A and B are shown apart, each in its own frame.
Chain A
């Protein structure tokens, strides 16, 4: 089985807070991390390989420092890593990102299952997985919480939707996005860390992928971010004072006058 995992390096911005005075981001020793959802994708790929054999390749499109994320993934059991890095890729929206990834996957030639995270914590769209599937013209299943069976070009999964769970089957190759329920990612092994340090990482740009500059990066993107701003949080809660009984009485008063009880 040839498994491809797509990962994105993201700023660990969950630590970020807004300074209410200046309305700017407060950064405390911010560092780049593997998108948390992608750690489940890595783990699932490695587990499938450990069970049935094969190879897991990880691909990321990003700036040169994204190599660190690839090395980390190797320490977690990934076999091969490819960095898609080229000035021409800059400013890509999800369409251009998915297109670039699809060219890389096609260049790999052999792929049975492509695993993506359900969304990133920065761009946060969840669009790259489904767009990638469509560009490769292969099946797509989102929010996979469990792989029930995978063999001989066949895949059965359990996935989460708003009202509950669905069991779906499909043929391979396919693209799935995984939710955190699917596994508990492992920590890097000592051997993995050693291997990650010396591993050779291929870098592919537009020349290696054989794509036009107009199809990737900013020129290949239909969407344009025209403005970034910080949400206004001007808000003052009314704190209900007194002992619990007094607090509850005041609350019921307030809810009654709002017609809510």
Chain B
């Protein structure tokens, strides 16, 4: 690709200087100047220019996509035999993508004694590729990587998506590396360019400050990880017809490179953050670790799970497994109550799609109020006990 600047058209307005994510654009002597080193041709400056002074010339596409690849696949993540919610969310969106492409939707499930694999059909799959083996019970990543690679090589789906969970983000890149294809991380939007039959993958970057739409034009499959709780799962249709295809799994031939020795469960309460309808979350405003007890009491009164900001985890007030945000969990409950959380962009990235957000904070300028549905400016140590009393009342 080539960046072309038409200095005759440039009026030096400077619109383009502030949009470059890498700060490579400046106005020198009234004309645009771009430091091409570091440019990745994202096109932000092109779009910002009202005078058509900047253009990007695309190279001729080197290769055409292999058209023998067809069908949309969802990696249906399970843990100890239970399918994760994200599998259903992806099937719901995957169904729409497959319909647009007029092709089949497949679900790939690798596990042991997975309960309710038929439910994958009820949520939209036409075919379920199911491998059952005790060796797959622990989500051993070397096994998952190589089995998925084998299945993709055999059945050739054009699109393969997985949840951007800890597991998905760790093993999907390895699958893409082996298949020599592109992978878009942590998507929050998936659409189809029907003309070119391409998956349009939209994702937040720069901690949620910038959205990028990414394509994988020539290599197949087109792969993406998708943030949990972004797509809503549809109602299941128990009458839907589909096929469960048993695929065998033999660990011979795959050298497992890592071995799981032990697992320590960290989640201190019963309701799991990712699946909770209501989350009560606390931040630095709590002041000290004991004050999480107050939130735990509110959580109990509302049947809610306990979350936290990174600040509270960094202080050592609550384990990491409760952390919501860019480097913690992404959640999207029906109700998120943020107590004493200022709302750093990294925290917002993990919770801003919640249906209703209540912010309780004594600083009226805290950014958390920018995403809140209801805001209470006040002392959480007055508001929360009052709320508990009235709810129990």
Give the segment of A75-83, A187-195, A216-224 that binds chain B: A216-224
User: Cβ of A180: which chain B residues have Cβ within 8 Å of it?
Assistant: 327
Query: Chain B nearest CB: distance from A74 CB in Å?
Result: 22
| Chain B proximity of A94: nearest CB distance (Å) | 7
Inter-chain contacts of B120 with A (CB < 8 A): none
Contact indicator B37/A168 (Cβ below 8 Å): no
Q: State in angstroms the CA–CA spacing of A119 and B213 once bound together.
A: 19
> Which of B62, B174, B211, B377 lies in contact with A134, CB distance below 8 A?
B174
Q: How large is the interface on A (under 10, 10 to 19, 20 to 34, 35 or more residues)?
A: 35 or more
Q: How far is the CA of A170 from the CA of B259 in the complex (A)?
A: 6
Contact status A94-B274, CB under 8 Å: no
The one of B48, B145, B178, B265 that contacts A163, using a Cβ cutoff of 8 Å? B265
Q: Does B85 contact A (CB under 8 A)?
A: no
Pairwise interchain contact B264-A164, C-beta atoms closer than 8 A? yes
Among A156, A228, A260, point to the contact of B210 (Cβ < 8 A): A228
Stretch at the interface among A50-58, A106-114, A137-145: A137-145
Chain A residue, CB-CB nearest to B267 = A163
Determine the chain B residues whose CB is within 8 A of the CB of A167 once the complex forms.
260-264
User: Contact at B216–A231, with CB atoms within 8 Å?
Assistant: no
Interface string of B316-344 (1 = CB under 8 A from A): 00001100001101000011000000000
Are A248 and B383 touching (Cβ within 8 A)?
yes
* B377 and chain A: residue at smallest CB distance: A239
**Residues 90-127 of chain A, each 1 if its beta carbon lies under 8 Å from chain B, else 0:** 11011100100000000000000000001101111111
Residues B265 and A170 in contact, CB atoms below 8 Å apart: no
**Which residues of A are found within 8 Å of B186, using beta-carbon distances?**
124-125
With A95-B182, A224-B216 as known contacts, state yes or no: A160 contacts B43, CB within 8 Å.
no
Please give the distance in Å from A224's CB to the nearest CB on chain B.
5
A152 at the B interface (CB under 8 A) = no
B382 within 8 A of A: yes
- Inter-chain contacts of B373 with A (CB < 8 A): 237-238
Does A72 touch B at the CB level, under 8 Å?
A: no
- Which chain B residue has the least Cβ–Cβ distance from A255? B335
In the complex, whether B5 has a CB less than 8 A from a CB of chain A is no
B:377-391 near A, CB below 8 Å: 377-379, 382-383, 386-387, 390-391
Residues of A within 8 A of B23 (CB): 11, 27, 30
Are A219's CB and B62's CB within 8 A?
Answer: yes
Contact A247 B260 (CB under 8 A): no
Stretch in contact with the other chain, from B98-106, B111-119, B199-207, B232-240 = B199-207
Closest to B202 in A: A227
Complex CA distance for A167 and B342, rounded to whole angstroms: 34
Interface 1/0 per residue, A147-189 and B, CB below 8 Å? 0000000001000111111111111001000011100000000
B247 CB → nearest A CB, Å:
22
**Across the interface, do A226 and B213 meet the contact criterion of CB distance under 8 Å?**
yes
In the docked arrangement, what's the CA distance between A163 and B267, Å? 6
Q: What residue of chain A has the Cβ atom nearest to residue B393's Cβ?
A: A252
> Known contacts being A224-B215, A227-B213, is A131 close to B335, with CB within 8 Å?
no
Which of B258, B267, B375 contacts A164 (CB under 8 A)?
B267
Minimum distance in angstroms from A177 CB to a CB of chain B = 8
Q: Is B7 an interface residue (CB 8 A)?
A: no
Name the segment of B150-158, B165-173, B288-296 touching the other chain: B165-173
B88-96, B123-131, B364-372 - interface stretch:
B364-372
Interface core residue of A62, A93, A130, A161 (most chain B CB under 10 Å): A130
Residues in chain B near residue A134, CB distance under 8 A: 145, 173-174, 177-178
CB-CB nearest in chain B for A160: B320
A137 CA / B111 CA spacing, docked (Å): 24
For residue A225, which residues in chain B have a CB less than 8 angstroms away from its CB? Answer: 40-43, 212-214
Say if the beta carbon of A18 comes within 8 Å of chain B.
yes
- Say yes or no for B185: interface residue by CB 8 A criterion: yes
- Does B218 sit within 8 A of A, measured CB to CB? yes
Q: Which of B182, B213, B321, B370 contacts A93 (CB 8 A)?
A: B182
Q: Which of A91, A123, A223, A261 has the most C-beta atoms of chain B within 10 angstroms of its own C-beta? A: A223
Pick the contact of A229 from B22, B171, B211, B218 — CB < 8 Å? B211
For B207, list chain A residues within 8 Å (CB): 13-14, 121, 124
Decide: A25 and B40 in contact? CB cutoff 8 A: no
A250–chain B nearest beta-carbon distance, Å: 8
Sampled A-B contacts (16; CB under 8 Å) = A11-B22, A11-B23, A24-B15, A124-B185, A127-B173, A130-B171, A130-B174, A160-B321, A222-B182, A226-B214, A230-B211, A248-B386, A251-B358, A252-B387, A260-B278, A260-B356
Which 6 pairs show the lowest CB-CB distances between chains A and B?
Answer: A222-B182, A125-B185, A139-B257, A164-B266, A223-B182, A134-B177
Q: A130-B170, A227-B212 are in contact. List 19 more A-B contacts (CB 8 A).
A: A24-B18, A25-B19, A90-B40, A134-B145, A134-B177, A164-B265, A167-B262, A169-B258, A223-B214, A226-B43, A226-B200, A227-B213, A229-B213, A231-B208, A247-B376, A247-B378, A248-B383, A251-B374, A252-B391
Q: Which residues of B contact A (CB under 8 A)?
A: 1, 15, 18-19, 21-23, 36-44, 47-48, 59, 62, 79, 141-142, 145, 165-167, 169-171, 173-174, 176-178, 180-186, 200, 204-219, 257-267, 274, 278, 302, 320-321, 326-327, 329, 334-335, 345-346, 356, 358-359, 369-379, 382-383, 386-387, 390-391
Which residues of A are at the interface with B, using a C-beta cutoff of 8 A? Answer: 11, 13-14, 16, 18-19, 22, 24-27, 30, 62-65, 87, 90-91, 93-95, 98, 118-119, 121-127, 129-131, 133-135, 138-143, 156, 160-171, 174, 179-181, 214, 218-219, 221-231, 233, 235, 237-240, 244-245, 247-249, 251-252, 254-255, 258, 260-261
